[in-house]
A and B are shown apart, each in its own frame.
Chain A
Amino acid sequence: MLRLELVDISKQYPAVKANDRVRLRVEPGQIHAVLGENGAGKSTLMKIIYGAVRPDEGEILWDGRPVEIRHPQEARALGIAMVFQHFSLFDTLTAAENVWLGLDKAWSLADVTRRIGEVAQAYGLDVDPLRPVHTLSVGERQRVEIVRALLTKPRLLILDEPTSVLTPQAVQALFVTLRKLAAEGCSILYISHKLDEIRALCHQCTVMRGGRVTGEVDPRQESNASLSRLMIGAEPPQLEHRQATPGAPVLTVDALTLARTGTFGADLADVSFELRAGEILGVAGVSGNGQQELMAALSGEDGRARPEAIRLFGRPIGGHSPRRRRREGLHFVPEERLGRGAVPQLSLAHNTLLTRTEAVGRLGWIDVGRAAALASDLMARYNVKAGGPGADARSLSGGNLQKFIVGREIDAAPRLLIVSQPTWGVDVGAAAQIRGALLALRDAGCAVLVVSEDLDELFEISDRLVVIARGRVSPAVAAAQATREQIGRWMSGLWNDAAASHEEARHAAA
């Protein structure tokens, strides 16, 4: 008997038909992939299963019986647990309190705290239950969500893009966990657009495009190209990566040491690296290891650094404001698009004024027409789909807003561009476009620093790689010579020769 069966599920939103007669069949103990681009209707479908959204038409069968899931509480009572792509945690509460709130069972907080420790231990998910959520990085928050889901001992676990913030080793560890869960009889719905992972992990794959099911295949029998054709109707555009020709040093970070500002987070300790014109330096690492602190120090949002610790073209800029750094050619694309990279309630035209001053006259008056023209120009050149230069930033999809922000900074002709998580939550087409734009910028002689948790992305576009772990930065290694295993090991902080050789000896012995 099937664990879950969806029959002709449809959901119409005002502007778009998110699900159109979708069928899905999940067997007990099956790891079932749902593959599709952003906007393909995967998330809506999962929300319907989880009771957060009600379908307009169609039937849900659970263990062969028709059910109506009107509320997530009802879904949980059936044994359905979900880890959301956008986290549903309360910032001011600790991890344990958040987990506690999400449980329908009458456990004490101390019980929950203890059990989090056990589950975290058993599945290799590093979570400190007593830390407030607002101090956790994106990756750490996701781990809290996974632990929360596992605590309920689910019969169907839904995971929405779970690996985007894990090291390759942690991904492997998660796969071991998931296979173990599946062997115990738990069905898993695994939502992703990472083809390699799906082929390595899943038993069955339902592919969606534009709200419809375009294929039901066994991913182990498919190639990346065949899956990709089902998913986007074409093979993904290939990036042309020419050999870099690095020029003079642009950014020199020299023994940057910076205490954390909050109680948690990472202290930057003795961070040193160099970035040259015409190259892309990738910064790999699991989030929460000092990336945020390093970005704030480099962008100028945190001006506490020793002036000489950060040098731009040899000139110390450690204490300069973001505006002054921008005038000197340093532009930055932050990880958070809404609220930091753009003001949600303001128009795209006004959002150009955050980092661009072309439309600001000598006396400090804004030329509204010019700002709108700049926004229109960016929209056209970077393929941003929006209502127009007057559209609020919050009305754009994540991918379109990211294209707008990246475009805004690239168009400023920077000499150093720092980008944090350039394609987080962006669909495949937009991601390829953004990566292409970064490579073009590099070829034009700009120095580019990319911080990303997506190793595939870093290997795809970087010329050299460094790894950040516990506030320290590894030596640089040419991307062509680096292996995923080596970078993965470095992500745990093991790049000193002694530590590395020790590790290798251990591996050899095993």
Chain B
Amino acid sequence: MLRLEARATPSKAMSLLSPLVALAITVVAGIALFALLGKDPGRGLAMFFVEPFRGAYAVSELCVKATPLMLIGLGLAVCYRANVWNIGAEGQFVLGAIAASWVAMQATPDSSHWIVVPILLAGVLGGMAWAAIVALLRDKANANEILVSLMLVYVASQLLNYLVYGDWKDPAGYNFPQTITFADATKIPRLFTGLRVNIGFIVALLSVAAFWLFQFRAYAGFQMQVGGLAPAAARYAGFSSRRALWTALLISGGMAGLAGAFEVAGPVGQLTPYVPAGYGFAAIIVAFVGRLHPVGILFSSLLMSLFYIGGELAQSRLGLPKSLTGVFQGMLLFALLASDTLIHYRVRWQPAHPSHPGGRPAA
């Protein structure tokens, strides 16, 4: 019988290395998967780990996809560290996109470029409002935030459908379920001409620094962390668990909403039913692979972005199904959780039936 036995002192080095170990396992499993699918594993891996870095355009696309993942993942990490389980970032992302779109649709051809600021603010507020429902129900009705936040994802996507199939449908859009293409002024400024990467990526990098400061240097961040690690100690210290709940949800909702705003006003340029691309869920993996640490999230969001792009390339160039992306993401998370478990526990082989004591003759 296999048994897990707690280790006396979990290795610090291994807890930093375990994302790399998990990545290695994912790569090995990936090779096996390509071989089973009858494709050259070398070419398959190249789609995931070489092609996305070839040329400025490819790197720019990597950053475009990493931006929402990084923004959402940073917010979720704060939540999870405070033991608040918001898994509905996707819904908050959608509400951010809807709110930002409403502001963007008010723009006229003479609007100033500064309209980008209210667009982004609207996104933040939209995400916060959606997360506030979760906080309110948790606070007042003690409703489980995991369920509420997840269910609100589906409500959000129905709301999005209602708008783009209804009132917000572009009258000149051949009855496609989408809004008008936003005015040029609303476009999030790009960093380089000809490349889609925009200031959202810079904002995400600055957020990494800001969240690092919040988590490790701010008293408010410390209080939330204590609340997550040891609720009795937080009560003893007098740190408010309600404030931690609200702060965690508003921060993560706001970040998801911001990501939604960058998405509609950036690469997409209009609101469509295809705006929610699963970033909100993928960011959960990003947060954990990044060890809930802002710098870790910077790297893990780039890695996840790699998987997205690799999956698309594998589809277009090798004729593999696009769901390969999800398989890779899932394998990575699985391998990470497994390595984490082995940091804290060791596997022991134990005979299933211990022999009877006492009656045994002396050895």
Contacts and interface: CB of A to CB of B under 8 A. Distances in A.
- The judgment on whether A and B are partners is yes
Contacts of A77: 356-358
B354 A67 contact: no
B236 A322 contact: yes
B331 to A, nearest CB: 29
Nearest to B240: A321
A341 interface: yes
Given A364-B218, A365-B218, A368-B217, A67 B236 contact: no
Interface stretch (A178-186, A353-361, A430-438, A467-475): A353-361
B14 interface: no
9 contacts: A66-B363, A71-B357, A74-B354, A78-B357, A339-B232, A340-B232, A343-B226, A364-B219, A366-B217
B353 to A, nearest CB: 11
Contacts of B216: 366
Interface of B: 8, 213, 216-220, 222, 225-226, 229-230, 232-233, 235-240, 354, 356-358, 360, 362-363
B297 to A, nearest CB: 20
Interface stretch (A229-237, A308-316, A344-352): A344-352
Interface residues of A, number: 44
Contact of A355 (B237, B240, B358): B237
A369 B78 CA distance: 23
A65 B233 contact: no
B230 A343 contact: yes
B233 A341 contact: yes
The 3 closest A-B pairs by CB, nearest first: A74-B357, A322-B238, A323-B238
A334 B219 contact: no
Nearest to B356: A77
A26 interface: no
Given A62-B358, A341-B236, A366-B222, 10 more contacts: A14-B8, A65-B362, A66-B362, A74-B357, A78-B357, A301-B236, A322-B236, A324-B238, A354-B236, A366-B219
B292 to A, nearest CB: 13
A69 interface: yes
* Interface-central residue, B216, B225, B357, by most chain A CB under 10 Å: B357
B235 A343 contact: no
B238 A326 contact: yes
Nearest to A323: B238
Contacts of B358: 62, 67, 74, 77-78
Contacts of B354: 70-71, 73-74
Contacts of A404: none
Nearest to A360: B219
Nearest to B237: A354
B23 to A, nearest CB: 26
A68 B363 contact: yes
A142 B217 CA distance: 42
Contact of B229 (A70, A346, A353, A357): A346
A75 B354 CA distance: 13
Given A66-B362, A322-B236, A340 B230 contact: yes
Contacts of B230: 339-340, 343-345
A441 B306 CA distance: 62
A321 B220 contact: no
Contacts of A62: 358
A71 B220 CA distance: 48
B357 A336 contact: no
A395 B93 CA distance: 41
Nearest to A333: B236
